[in-house]
Every structure is written in C-alpha cells, then in structure tokens.
Structure 1
C-alpha cells in the first residue's frame, strides 16, 4: 500500500516541502531513496524501536521510502516522525484521511519520544505558503512555529500522540503566540550602559552617529583606552528590532541551531564577537553542509572584531564583498545558498605592536617600519569600507574620578530612533533599504547634495587625504546621517566637516 506524508528541508534560510512516499509491499528489506544522508539512512533502527515501544508492529515486508523531489539532498533526523507515520499508515495502523493536510517533523528516540529539530521558523513560513492546514512538531519547537500565525501548530511529545490524533482518538492542543505583525518588538534593557563610561565624549558621539545611520566604525588607540568597553555598549543604543527584522534574524539563528528553546522570536539585536583565531569559513559561512557564518549571525546587529590586525588576512578579505552587497552566497558543485549579512562592523585595534604609537605620554618601542607593517595587515580596500575611523585616547585621571552622572544609553537610543525614523520614511518605498549606510549610489547623488562651499570643502579633503571614490560616497552618507540627527533637510558645511574628520585614520594621514 502506498501512502504519502509531508515533511520539509531547509536550504540556506528558506524551506522546501518534501513528500515522504512510503510503499509497503510483498518482499523483505528496507529501502530509503531520494538522496538521504547518513542520519536519514540510520532512521530505520530509531523508527522500528519507537513503533514497537508504543505497542504497534513494524511490517516485516518490503518497505520503500522515497523523499521527493529526489534530486535534492536531504539531511538531518527531522524526517523520522513523517517516515514512521507513513509506515504505520501504509501498514493499516493509522488512518490516512488527514495526512495530506499536515506537515510532520521530529526526531524519534528509541522509546517513542520526539526530540526537537532545527530550522522550524522557515519551515512554518513555507508550510503556510503551501496551504497546509497545520504543522505537527516537537512541543519545544511549537512556540517558534506559532510566531508565523495563520496555521495550526500542534506540539507533541511522543509518537503515540500523533498516531491517536490521525486515528481520531484524541485532539492535539494548538500553540498560539501573542506576537503578530502589528506588535513590534520592545526595546529591552541592557546590562552594559554608556552611563558607566567616563570621559570619551567624542567616541560616544561617533558611536551615536554610527548607530543612527548603521555605519561601520573602527576604533584605534592604546591598550586600556576603552575601545572594547565602548564597543560592547553599542547594542544598548541601537533601535529595537522591527517585527520583520526579528523574523528574519530568528530564521538565521533557528537554522544554525542557536535559538534558545525558551525563545520564540529574538527581541534583541545580535552582537557577535568572534575570537581572532576564527577561520574564513566560520566567518562567512559554508562547510560541506553550508551553515550561516558569523557575518550572517550578526545580521541586523553588530559584528565586533577586537584586535583586528590579529585576524588572518584571508579572514578579513572575505568580508569585503558582504560589506558591500550585505549578503553572502555559498556555492557548491550541486547547489548554492544565500544568507543575508546586513551587519554593522565594529573593529578595534592598537596602533602598533607595543600599543603606544602616537600616545601622548608613553614612548612607542616600535620603529616606523614595524608600525607600517602592523597597520598593513588591514588592507586599503577593507579600510575604505569602514565609514568612521576614530582615534581613542586615554582617559585622564580627573575624568575617571568625576562623580557626576553621564548620559544613559536609553537617552542616546531615543535620539538614534528619531534619526532612524527619518531614514525609514525617506526609504519607505524601498524594501531592502532602512538606513543611510544601505543607501545605493543613485540615492547618494539625489539625497546628499552639497552647495558650492561644501563641494570645495570635500574636494580639498579628498586631495589632502588621498581618498577614494568609495570614501567619497561614505563621507556623504555619514554627513547625511549627521544632518538627520539635526533634523536638517540639507547637508550643511559643519555636517560635512564632522563627517570628514572621521576619516583621519586613513593610512596616509595616520603614518604622517
């Protein structure tokens, strides 16, 4: 007897519905076809034990399982439950009347219990698009799937519950979520706050501008000046995720298996800080079974690279294309997957190996050639893609010991949100543009107009600093953000001058 159930496969952050066709006929042996991986090939032992443990029989006949479409490779253990129900239905132990209306997912234990699986959110979204009545999945995954809405989400703990449901003996409780498209995420409190930072007003200003426009930023200064402390507080001034951003971010973390079982939808912007020993594949994603890398896990959030020159050169160079396109394509011989990678790059570094080059008090022990070699680890093309270059100087003793309150993160965040609202309104007709840093060149020419004095100021700066055309665009984008923070319609000269000064760590100027 031939029976068909339905499951799903995840490729990148998108899902494809898989038909699980089970035929029980005269003969012996168990066959599974349709490009299954080892985890699926080993499913027979798990399925047989689970079926026997709930008091049903495993057919001692020829069983053929086909995972269609057969030209797509299937991976993981999420097909166990769909295959088990197909076998039981094909052998007459489960009624097949309702099977076509439900997507079935779950890994089986030997005792018949169901284990959670990865990538549930994109699967639930695709199930709704494909018109399924509901989705049956492990109870610990149910809250994540319920975020989608418009589809029944039935959480189960064991195989027996699914058998009883399809046989009409019991009803499965539906899981619902209070989160909808009309309920944006709420700003959450952060343990780290800018109120903890003494002095460094110019650095706080630069980080506020970066947050307001989504710009990349690099902090360069001696050890102990506060570079890492400041960078770690950047998420506390970023605007809260919108529902669409939260959904897309959650999809990536769901596929990678990083989503907490207690968390149905991410409500904080990611902050990823990989160690400098990271490989290029771990950073951008990939592997034999491609998984999202750190740049995708930082999507809609911050990627912080501390001690930037200590990263391998090849690791840093692979970021050049994603920084421009805000996505990454992982290609293999048989397929390719796309991962979004729209992140803010925040980097920190010392100016030289000893850390005291250009220090106001301490003497640098490195020669100019050593400093040149150290800074050359950061290529010109990569540095060009960073909008704000900030020199961090040590905090003086009297600033450290001051007792007066400094500005809290929530006050800064409110200004950032107001600037972002201006940009959201400006780009309301564009689906993939939300802030000035994402502005394409055609908009730069239209929205970043300068008067004659502004053009002369920028021309002098480009000639003096030997800036590239890309740096020209980025200066204008930063100036547009500063103007937005001032609620100004046009870029004025003092907006442009402030944006230009944030390029003062380009290599030619830094080395004098």
Structure 2
C-alpha cells in the first residue's frame, strides 16, 4: 500500500500540538491535495514541496496524492509542516524507508530550491514533541542551537532536503552540533547606583521587586521615572529553569531570540511599548496568533511610560493578565492562550502640559482631572504601590557624600526576601512563589490572619473609603513583603502602616 505517515508539531498560541502527517499515493489524475484544516501558508506548501523535489533531484509522484493532517478537526497554521509532508510523500513512494520516520519529528520550511528555512517556535514545538514520546528531531540547521535546549531529545540539523533524504536512507549522517558564531557580549543592565536621591522611589522599587508587586510612578518629566523602571530588572532574581524555558519559548514564537547560538533567557525580560501601542501589539494577534508586549514581558517587567496617553481599551486589557497571569485571545476561527505573569510599572506626568513643576503648570484643575482619570479605577485598584517622584535637587545630584546602593546590594536583599516567602508558602504546601500571588482570603484566615492591633491602619483606611477590599488584600501582601525584607516572621503594625502608605500614596480621581 502506498501509504506512510510522519510526525510534526503545529503551534496554537503558546502550545505546541503534535500533528500526524498521512500521505497516500493512489491512481488517478496527477494532483496533490492537502486536507486537515490547513491555513493559507500550509495550502501553499504544495507549490514549495513540488519545486523542492524537482530541484533536489527527487522524482515527484505523477499520480493522485492525498496528504492529511491529523487531527483533521484542528486548524493547522504556518509552514513548519513542509519537511514532514515531504518526508511522508517520499516514504509513501518508497523513496525512503518508512521505519526511519518512527519516533522522529520533522520541523522546517522548504524553499523552492530545497533549502531548509528556519521557522519560529521550534522550542515550544519540540517540548510538545518530547511530551508526546518523540526521541529524535530533525530541524533546519539554523534552528539546531535552539532545538538543543530540549535536552532529552536527540536533535539533528540539515540545510537541504537532499541531506534529509540521504539520512533517512542511511547514506549520510546529519549534524548534531549547531555552527558556533562568536556572539557579542550581553549588555550590562542599568544599575541602581546611577539613581541619585529618590529614597522613597528606591524603597518602593525594592518592595516591588521583593514581592512581585505592581508599581505606579507619578512625577514631572526628568524626575527619574523611566530611569527607575529600567533598573527594576537589575534587582530581580534570575529566572529558574522552568521560568527560563517558558520565557525562551515565548521569545522563540515571537522570533526575537538573538544570535545564532541562543541560550535559555535567565534574566527577567523587559518590555516597554510606546504609549501609541495598538491593541494587537499589546495583547497579541496576527495570523498565526503571536504574543504581544504583555506576553513578551512574561516573568519580567512591562513598563508603560506616559500611560494616560495610551488608549483606554489598551490599558484596560491589562486587567485580565494582572489577575490571572495569562491572556486569552479569541478570534472567529481560532483562540489561543499566552502566559502573561508580569510585573507592571506605570509612569505618568501630573498633567498634559508636562510642566517641570507645579508653579510652571498652566493646566486648569478640570483638565488635570480629566488627564489622570484616563486611568480607570479598576486598573489602578490592581496596582499595589503608588509613588510621587519629585525632581531631584541640584545639591543631591552634586553631593559626593552619599553613594547610592548598587543593584547588586539591593538584589541580595530581594533574593533573601523572596527565599523567605517561598519557604513560608512551601511549608504551607502552596505553590505561590511571591507574596503578590497569595489570594487575599488566605491572608485573612488562620493561620495567617493578623490581629486587629496590627492591621488597625489598613482597617481604618477601609472604613474611610480610601481602600477597597482588593486594596486591603494587596496592602496585606505588601506588609508580608516588608516583613520578609526586614527578616521578620510576621508583619507588625509598622509594616502595615508602611504598606498602606505605599498603597494610598496617590489615588486617581473618581
């Protein structure tokens, strides 16, 4: 029977889904039919594969050939299936042994000359193939370094379809080592030692880093808001193995992995889209669906400068990922989930004229009110820390007496605070990694409930309407972070008071 099958993987959002490629060669008018809900890129693979066969010296089956992509009810997208379709047709035509395709997943786009072109999303595709039981992967040579990040798969690279055919016939071997090209050294992260003054803002940044809390900075131009936000990644702990793999997979899908020999991304990512960013660019979209700026900041920092200038619907799109740590994109014919566990930093000027001081501001009060009220209450209620950033006086900038702490010193305290939180919640048999992830009801129940003598400041703010229920829970989380930074087992009244001060430091107009 002129029938064969091969294995590949297609992406749906962040998840790779194993796909079985069936090929059947039958008598009839010469044609190639592809079924199984292929998108336009896959439908056009017929032309690419035919030309690749011709230019590789391979005989094209001059009969009726059917290719089916299983499961047939799931839409497939992208050109990643080209190599697997070609291999299935070759095996069905007895050009290569069928048993050589067992346990092997094939990824790659074919050029008209038979060259294998690199594809996006190799890392999440191979992780899915590994879970499905594959033991070998054949990928374009330029994707081999990325594929090798999946340590439990034997990954092989090829430059041309003819090389894959020779390998499947047992005539040649494929490279298991990606070509190493000297890389430029990674750029050093901006250091907190550059930030002069701004003690309150520095403290807020440290608390945000230690507990994974969201941050809002309000101040005139030149006060240092952007400078502070850019230095937040420098005091965050490196990503663990699971987070690094997940983050690297997202960047693989987006096609932003740098260099010819990529490694796992160990530093928390930093994403800072312009305030004119569109909805698809922020949340993700396109065909096929790709991650947006929110997901590109997964396990890292998303910074929005001049945030009142952004579109209201774009800002409100942040609410779902801030609560759930993921974003769901739904389209008429497809939907996808992307992880989006971010640390949000918002920055704004006090008024639209962006005056350097209140004395030089010409905006009437209603105009200032309208400007800041572009930040919706539901969004701001999810931001833990609000800080007013005042301009640094010239005396502080020129003073040589006080040397600001470096990122290395602050990062050590942050790492110790995170270790304490992780151990506490681990002992409680919970998977929360930071205090910001702990549900509020758990902190208000035994054994974590704090006595009213400790929480009286936060209780009073709720009674006077300055804190919502969500704000109260977030204040408790910050208090636990402050206690971890100070090396205490439980928060005291001072921690609650400081957390409440960081929380209500600024409130948007109602």
Work out whether the TM-score is over 0.5. Answer: yes
| Cα drift, residue 492 of structure 1 | 0.8
Partner of 1:340: 339
Tell me the secondary structure at the aligned position of residue 459 of structure 2: helix
Please state how far the C-alpha of 1:117 moved relative to its aligned partner.
0.8
**For the residues of structure 2 that align with 1:298 and 1:235, how far apart are their CA atoms?**
11
Alignment partner, residue 13 of structure 1: 14
Deviation at 1:189, TM superposition (A): 7.2
List runs of 5+ in structure 2 lacking aligned partners. Answer: 179-185
Query: CA 1:270–1:458 in 2, change beyond 3 Å: closer, same or farther?
Result: same
Q: Equivalent residue of 2:449, what SS?
A: coil
Kept in 2, the 8 Å contact 1:152–1:175? The answer is no
Q: 1:431/1:462 Cα in 2 relative to 1: closer, same or farther (>3 Å)?
A: closer
Q: Give the Cα–Cα distance (whole angstroms) in 2 for the partners of residues 440 and 464 of structure 1.
A: 24
1:100: which partner in 2? 102
Q: Is the contact made by 1:219 and 1:392 (CA closer than 8 Å) also made in structure 2?
A: yes
Q: Deviations over 1:395-414 (max 9, x none)?
A: 00111112353211111111
Closer, same or farther: CA 32–419 of 1 in aligned 2, 3 Å: same
> Normalising to structure 2: TM-score of the pair?
0.93
Q: Distance in 2 between matches of 1:383 and 1:374?
A: 14
Instruction: Supply the distance in 2 between the matched residues of 1:231 and 1:121 (Cα, whole angstroms).
Output: 30
**Correspondences of 1:47-446 after superposition (within 5 Å):** 47-175=49-177, 190-260=188-258, 261-287=260-286, 289-356=288-355, 359=357, 362-404=359-401, 405-428=403-426, 433-446=432-445
What stretches of structure 1 move > 6 A for 4+ residues in a row?
none
What is the CA distance between 1:432 and its match in structure 2?
5.0
Distance 1:220 1:93 in 2: 68
SS in 2 for 1:415: helix
Give the C-alpha shift of residue 497 in structure 1.
Answer: 1.2
Q: What residue is the counterpart of 1:180 in the other structure?
A: none
Distance 1:277 1:210 in 2: 26
| Deviates further, 275-284 or 297-306 | 275-284
Q: Quick one: distance in 1 between partners of 2:250 and 2:430?
A: 19
The Cα shift of 1:292 comes to 1.6
Shift of 1:333: 4.1
2:470 & 2:256 partners in 1: Cα distance? 35
2:455 and 2:132 map into 1 onto residues whose CA distance is: 54
Change (3 A) 1:289 1:432: farther
327-336 vs 80-89, which deviates more?
327-336
CA distance in 2, matches of 1:191, 1:161: 42
Instruction: Flag the 1:448–1:228 CA change in 2: closer, same or farther, 3 A.
Output: farther
Matched position secondary structure for 1:481:
helix
Hey, what's the Cα distance between the residues in 1 that align with 2:440 and 2:3?
Answer: 57
Alpha-carbon distance, 1:329 to partner: 1.7
Q: Secondary structure at the match of 2:338?
A: strand
Distance in 2 (CA, whole Å) between partners of 1:147 and 1:132 is 15
**Contact (CA 8 Å) 1:36, 1:73: kept in 2 or not?**
yes
Instruction: Provide the C-alpha distance between the structure 2 equivalents of 1:434 and 1:471, rounded to a whole number of angstroms.
Output: 20
Q: Name the residue aligned to 1:455.
A: 455
8 Å contact from structure 1 (residues 448, 477) kept in 2: no
* C-alpha distance in 2 between matches for 1:89 and 1:425: 54
Q: Is the Cα contact below 8 Å between 1:298 and 1:341 reproduced in 2? A: yes
CA 1:462–1:412: 2 relative to 1, 3 Å: same
Could you say what secondary structure the match of 1:472 adopts?
Answer: helix
Q: Deviations over 1:315-372 (max 9, x none)?
A: 1112112211111122234543221111000010011112349x46x33211111111
| CA deviation profile, 1:56-106 (whole Å, cap 9, x unmatched) | 211221111111111111111111111112222222221212112200111
Q: 1:448 to 1:391 in 2, by over 3 A?
A: farther
RMSD: 2.1
Q: Within 1, Cα distance between the matches of 2:325 and 2:81?
A: 33
User: How far apart are the structure 2 equivalents of 1:452 and 1:122?
Assistant: 49
Cα separation, 2, equivalents of 1:168 and 1:431:
51
> SS of the counterpart of 1:300?
coil
Deviation of 1:107 after TM superposition, in Å, equals 0.7
Distance 1:145 1:423 in 2: 35
Query: Helix, strand or coil for the counterpart of 1:207?
Result: helix
Give the distance between the partners of 2:473 and 2:364, measured in 1 at CA: 34
SS in 2 for 1:502: helix
Alignment size in residue pairs: 498
Note if contact 2:480-2:491 (Cα within 8 Å) is conserved in structure 1. Answer: yes
